[in-house]
């Protein structure tokens, strides 16, 4: 049984002696491999990560400027049917996110029809009037989405958060898999695990598919803030695995609404930029004039249709926590059907009834800043002190519109290696969804984050969380699953 | 290739070569200090500081010139821009910035060398110092091996070009300082300390055995100078570095179509060196010759930066 009575992804409700029937073999592997051996393999993986520099920087922590994210050797597992159901929900949700962005920066039908209160858009810091009226090449806004999911039971999946700006973690998905193949090859002999290593090819195909014009060999680059950024490893990893240039803003220059990259042979025209720089640092002429990171004129080039920006600027309005609570309505409005992946029940503190409920139930709820991230600015009611609860009460009363609240979910657990052997630890899951002009793609896998402290629900790496590999087990005939998805949903995409 | 990438690769080559050179210098100086029968230890450490152009910086620390202090300053001191740890830090930053141009093997060699110095406050005694610099040399050798397994493209050539330009500079400084190193009072030219110093030079550039192969006579300063300036067979001689620079520039020209001032300067220098006789250099002034070489090398460095549009 999982910690706090939560559902365990491998052991189910029955505990280590009676695992979920589909995972008996995996539970057997866990039982047969001595903890000391698992420990040894895990340390070997972490040593390799350190040597490869798979590190992230912790801001404000100069003593440990570089850390590796702890890696746990016991994978979390999905059955193929679970995965297929999830994928359908993910594709539907990401299509709705794209349609919403197209609408909100264009016709704004959803506001006209009263589905979303207009002030929620216009007063939102994530809304960028600077890009209103711009239609990105091929009409794609959220090319790369990381949808954070949690699970509370065999068939209960909920979306916790949408990440439609610059979601990170895909390098861990791929590196964790590499480590598992090297350290636990027997698992891949015994189980049909869907491969994830097609991700870089899919990403490059997605990038090429949205290039402006008809250039058969568009110049694609990854734009990084530089090697001091916490996700720099991922930036270099992605550029490297796609075989494209990793550029910094200083390498780019805009001339006559064309973006150029400065090479030893002179300037080369750039068609597609996968930018890992936040909107406000992209272009000092449009956004923050004090930023040295950006490329002056980039947004003008984008407006002129000469370059594709991945993801499109302005996407923050779609993954904002205040908008999140409207996602069921958004999905219904654009797809005509009910959301296949439900939200976690969410109280919008801006609404007086909801605020009253939240204030009355603070010790049971998780309260979040609508514009917070990384586990900061968050109250976890059940584990918070009286003082913390009172601080949040005061903050909520002062500025209710800045907060949402959700019930504390019994997040599922996965057996995890601890100092005292295997024990259940809570996890969440971030799959990556790619949208190009030619369809939506989901690679069968994702990033599982695990809260390493007993009972903790906070999985963020900046808060001491770790990661696990995520296996999607295929049926005997499951090999073509991935390509079926691409084809199936290609026909459903609008625009182009 | 991006201009910034080209610049970072070239400087990566330079800094790693410099780290390797300082490691060799420390190793040779520890030996000179230990082996010398006379109290020549302090002079050895003074010369190590002079060769690495860190004498002024060290003087500013106010520390006594002894093995513990100087070895620490040259290896671990992050405030010394010429220390091994500073060179590795800069090499690693450049390598991180251009990771995509490197293979995993090349990157991990640099990263491993860098990790050697993390959280290390003291070099320990002579034995530990030798073991540390030995590890640095091992990692830089590993890096050289790794780049020979990379694609033979602009990236590899630029790293090697940086290393060749740096190596020429290092050797020129080494010879210059040792030639002018004052012998302790009472020591004569050709005496024990003098001999030790020349042997140290050869050790610094791994050329003791090469010397024996090439010169049948015993240790003669003029021969050491000849070996380090003019013998193409010795990889660290000025002649070999100059020749390598010309070759790398012409391979880069073939691949990138970029050819110009740097190529002309490098070829002119090589042609001149092929006609130069060591004996004439010594007679007309070794110090002046080496100073001019170092200056010319810096001009070549600037021409390379212009030619490849470094930013």
- B100 interface with A at CB cutoff 8 Å: yes
Asked if A330 contacts A336 with a C-beta cutoff of 8 angstroms, the reply is no
Least confident of A374-378, B25-29, B41-45: A374-378
pLDDT of res. A47? 87
Supply the pLDDT for residue B183: 58
Report the pLDDT value the prediction gives residue A490, as an integer from 0 to 100. 43
The pLDDT assigned to A21 comes to: 83
Contact B158, B9 (CB under 8 A): yes
Q: State the Cα torsion A300-A306-A308-A313 to the nearest 10°.
A: 10
pLDDT at A138: 95
**Domains detected in chain A:** 21-212+307-338+410-493 (no CATH), 347-407 (3.30.1490.270)
Q: Among the listed ranges A263-272, B37-46, B48-57, B261-270, which one has the minimum average pLDDT value?
A: B37-46
**Cβ distance of A265 and B258 shorter than 8 Å:** yes
Which ipTM was obtained for this model? 0.73
Average per-residue pLDDT for chain B? 89
Distances (CA, A) of A487 to A13, A205, A442, B43: 37, 14, 12, 77
Q: Which of B4, B107, B257 has its CB closest to that of A248? A: B4
Give the A window 76-95 contacts with B, CB below 8 Å: none
The number of C-beta contacts closer than 8 angstroms across A and B is 63
Per-residue pLDDT, A15: 72
Inter-chain touch B100–A263, beta carbons under 8 Å: no
Residue A489 — very low, low, confident or very high, per pLDDT cuts 50/70/90?
very low
- The radius of gyration of chain B's CA atoms, rounded to the nearest angstrom, is 19
Q: How confident is the model at residue A99 (pLDDT cuts 50, 70, 90)?
A: very high
Residues of B whose CB is below 8 A from A232: 96
Instruction: Give the residue from chain B lying closest to A226, CA to CA.
Output: B97
Pick from A51-55, B40-44, B278-282: least confident? B40-44
pLDDT at A483 over 60: no
Q: pLDDT at residue A17 above 90?
A: no
Chain A: residue nearest B304 by CA? A264
Q: How confident is the model at residue B39 (pLDDT cuts 50, 70, 90)?
A: low
- pLDDT at A479 > cutoff 50: no
Judged by a CB distance cut-off of 8 A, whether residue A68 touches chain B is no
User: Are residues A190 and A33 in contact, defined by beta-carbon separation less than 8 angstroms?
Assistant: no
Question: Are B99 and A240 in contact (CB < 8 Å)?
Answer: yes
Instruction: Choose among B249, B310, B175: nearest CA to A262.
Output: B310
Band of residue A380 on the pLDDT scale cut at 50, 70, 90? confident
Residues of A within 8 A of B104 (CB-CB) are: 52
Contact A318, A327 (CB under 8 A): no
The string of pLDDT tens digits covering residues B171-180 is: 998 888 776 6
Condensed to tens digits (0 to 9), the pLDDT of residues A200-226 reads 999 999 999 999 988 889 999 999 998
| Phi, psi (rounded to 5 degrees) for A368 | -130, 145
Distance from CA of A430 to the nearest CA of B (A): 26
Q: What is the pLDDT, as a whole number, of residue A210? A: 97
> pLDDT at residue B204 above 90?
no
**Strands A245-247 and A220-223, how do they pair?**
parallel
Q: Cβ separation of B4 and A227 shorter than 8 Å? A: no
In this complex, do B3 and A245 lie within 8 Å of one another by their Cβ atoms?
no
**Interface contact B264, partner A, CB < 8 A:** no
For residues A157 and A154, give the distance between their C-alpha atoms in angstroms, rounded to a whole number.
Answer: 8
Most trustworthy range by pLDDT among A360-374, B46-60, B236-250:
B236-250
pLDDT at A239 over 50: yes
**What is chain A's mean pLDDT, rounded?**
88
What's the token pair of residue B143?
């890096």
pLDDT score recorded for residue B189: 67
State the smallest CA–CA distance between residue B167 and chain A in angstroms: 24
Distance from CA of B73 to the nearest CA of A (A): 22
Instruction: Give the integer Cα–Cα distance in Å for A2 and A8.
Output: 5
Distance from CA of B78 to the nearest CA of A (A): 15
> Do residues A198 and A432 make contact, with C-beta atoms less than 8 angstroms apart?
no
> Is there a contact between B107 and A53 if contact means CB atoms under 8 Å apart?
yes
Nearest-CA distance A36 → chain B (Å) = 27
Cα nearest neighbour of A63 on chain B? B119
Among partner residues A53, A232, A263, which is closest to B1 by beta-carbon distance? A263
With beta carbons under 8 A apart, name residues in chain A contacting B111: 51-53
pLDDT value for A111: 97
Quick one: which of A213, A196, A198, A210 has its CA closest to A274? A210
Q: If you ran DSSP here, which 8-state letter would residue A279 be given?
A: G
pLDDT at A496: 34
Cα–Cα distance measured from residue A182 to residue A477, given in angstroms and rounded to the nearest whole number: 25
Mutate to test the interface with A, among B3, B90, B101 (most CBs of A within 10 A): B3
Average pLDDT of A340-363?
94
Calculate mean pLDDT across residues B270-295: 92
* Interchain pair A251, B108: CB under 8 A: no
- Is a pLDDT exceeding 80 seen at residue B207? yes
pLDDT (tens digit, 9 = 90+) per residue, B209-228?
Answer: 899 989 988 888 889 999 99
Eight-state DSSP code of residue A385 = -
Backbone dihedral region for residue B102 (phi beyond 0: left; psi -120 to 50: alpha; all else: beta)? beta
Task: Read off the pLDDT of each residue in A149-178 and give the average, rounded to a whole number.
Answer: 93
Nearest residue of A to residue B158 by CA position? A264
Taking the C-alpha atoms of residue B23 and residue B68, their distance in angstroms, rounded to an integer, is 15
CA distances from B22 to B19, B92, B258 (A): 5, 16, 33
Lowest mean pLDDT among A165-169, A445-449, B194-198, B256-260: B194-198
> Rounded to the nearest 10 degrees, what angle do helices B192-204 and B221-230 cross at?
20
Optimal mutation site among B11, B12, B99, B256, interface A, most CBs of chain A within 10 A: B99
Q: How far apart are CA A338 and CA A372, in angstroms?
A: 28
The tally of CA atoms less than 13 A away on the side-chain side of residue A24 is 3
Which residues of chain A does B107 touch, with a Cβ-Cβ cutoff of 8 Å?
A: 52-53
Q: Which tops the pLDDT comparison, A100 or A47? A: A100
Share of chain B above pLDDT 70, in %: 93
């Amino acid at each position: 049984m999982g910690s706090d009575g939560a559902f365990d992804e491998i052991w189910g409700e029955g505990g280590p002696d009676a695992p979920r029937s589909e995972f008996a073999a995996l539970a057997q592997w866990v039982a047969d491999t001595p903890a000391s051996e698992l420990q040894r393999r895990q340390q070997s993986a972490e040593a390799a990560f350190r040597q490869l520099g798979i590190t992230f920087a912790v801001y404000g922590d100069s003593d440990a400027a570089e850390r590796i994210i702890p890696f746990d050797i016991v994978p979390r597992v999905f059955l193929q049917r679970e995965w297929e159901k999830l994928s359908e929900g993910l594709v539907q949700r990401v299509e709705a996110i794209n349609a919403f962005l197209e609408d909100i920066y264009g016709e704004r039908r959803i506001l006209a029809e009263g589905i979303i209160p207009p002030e929620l858009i216009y007063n939102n810091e994530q809304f960028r009037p600077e890009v209103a009226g711009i239609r990105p090449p091929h009409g794609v806004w959220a090319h790369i989405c990381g949808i954070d999911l949690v699970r509370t039971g065999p068939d209960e999946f909920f979306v916790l958060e949408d990440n439609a700006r610059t979601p990170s973690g895909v390098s861990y998905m791929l590196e964790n898999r590499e480590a598992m193949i090297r350290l636990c090859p027997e698992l891949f002999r015994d189980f049909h695990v869907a491969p994830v290593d097609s991700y870089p090819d899919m990403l490059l195909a997605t990038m090429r598919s949205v290039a402006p014009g008809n250039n058969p060999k568009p110049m694609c680059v990854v734009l990084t803030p530089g090697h001091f950024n916490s996700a720099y490893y991922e930036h270099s990893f992605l550029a490297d695995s796609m075989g494209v240039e990793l550029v910094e803003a200083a390498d780019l220059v805009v001339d006559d609404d064309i973006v150029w990259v400065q090479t030893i042979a002179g300037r080369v025209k750039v068609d597609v930029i996968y930018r890992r720089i936040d909107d406000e640092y992209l272009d000092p002429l449009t956004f923050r004039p004090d930023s040295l990171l950006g490329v002056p004129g980039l947004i003008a080039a984008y407006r002129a249709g000469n370059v594709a920006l991945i993801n499109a600027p302005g996407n923050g309005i779609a993954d904002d926590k205040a908008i999140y609570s409207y996602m069921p309505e958004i999905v219904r409005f654009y797809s005509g059907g009910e959301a296949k992946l439900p939200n976690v029940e969410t109280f919008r503190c801006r609404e007086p009834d909801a605020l009253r409920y939240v204030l009355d139930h603070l010790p049971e709820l998780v309260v979040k800043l609508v514009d917070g991230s990384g586990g900061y600015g968050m109250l976890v009611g059940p584990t918070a002190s009286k003082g913390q609860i009172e601080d949040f009460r005061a903050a909520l009363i002062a500025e209710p519109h800045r907060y949402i609240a959700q019930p504390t979910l019994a997040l599922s657990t996965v057996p995890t290696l601890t100092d005292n052997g295997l024990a259940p630890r809570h996890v969440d899951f971030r799959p990556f969804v790619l949208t190009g002009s030619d369809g939506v793609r989901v690679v069968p896998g994702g990033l599982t984050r695990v809260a390493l402290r007993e009972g903790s629900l906070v999985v963020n790496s900046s808060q001491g969380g770790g990661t696990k590999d995520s296996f999607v087990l295929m049926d005997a005939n499951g090999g073509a699953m991935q390509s079926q998805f691409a084809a199936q949903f290609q026909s459903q995409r609008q625009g182009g | 290739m991006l201009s910034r990438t080209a610049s970072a690769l070239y400087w990566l080559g330079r800094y790693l070569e410099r780290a390797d050179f300082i490691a060799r210098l420390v190793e040779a100086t520890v030996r000179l200090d230990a082996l010398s029968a006379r109290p020549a230890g302090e002079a050895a450490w003074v010369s190590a500081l002079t060769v690495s152009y860190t004498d002024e910086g060290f003087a500013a620390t106010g520390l006594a010139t002894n093995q513990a202090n100087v070895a620490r300053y040259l290896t671990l001191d992050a405030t010394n821009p010429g220390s091994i740890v500073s060179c590795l830090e800069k090499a690693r930053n450049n390598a991180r910035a251009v990771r995509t141009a490197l293979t995993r093997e090349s990157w991990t060699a640099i990263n491993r060398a860098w990790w050697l110095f993390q959280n290390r406050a003291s070099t320990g005694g002579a034995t530990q110092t030798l073991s540390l610099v030995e590890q640095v040399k091992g990692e830089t050798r590993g890096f050289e091996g790794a780049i020979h397994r990379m694609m033979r493209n602009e990236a590899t050539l630029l790293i090697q070009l940086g290393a060749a330009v740096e190596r020429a500079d290092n050797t020129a400084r080494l010879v210059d300082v040792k030639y002018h190193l004052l012998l302790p009072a009472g020591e004569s030219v050709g005496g024990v300390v003098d001999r030790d110093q020349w042997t140290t030079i050869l050790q610094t550039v791994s050329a003791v055995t090469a010397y024996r192969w090439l010169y049948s006579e015993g240790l003669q300063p003029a021969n050491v100078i000849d070996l380090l300036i003019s013998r193409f067979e010795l990889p660290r001689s000025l002649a070999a570095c100059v020749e390598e620079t010309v070759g790398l520039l012409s391979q880069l020209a073939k691949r990138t179509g970029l050819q110009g001032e740097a190529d002309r300067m490098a070829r002119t220098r090589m042609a001149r060196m092929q006609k130069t006789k060591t004996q004439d250099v010594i007679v007309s002034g070794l110090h002046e010759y080496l100073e001019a070489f170092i200056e010319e090398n810096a001009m070549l460095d600037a021409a390379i930066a212009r030619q490849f549009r470094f930013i």
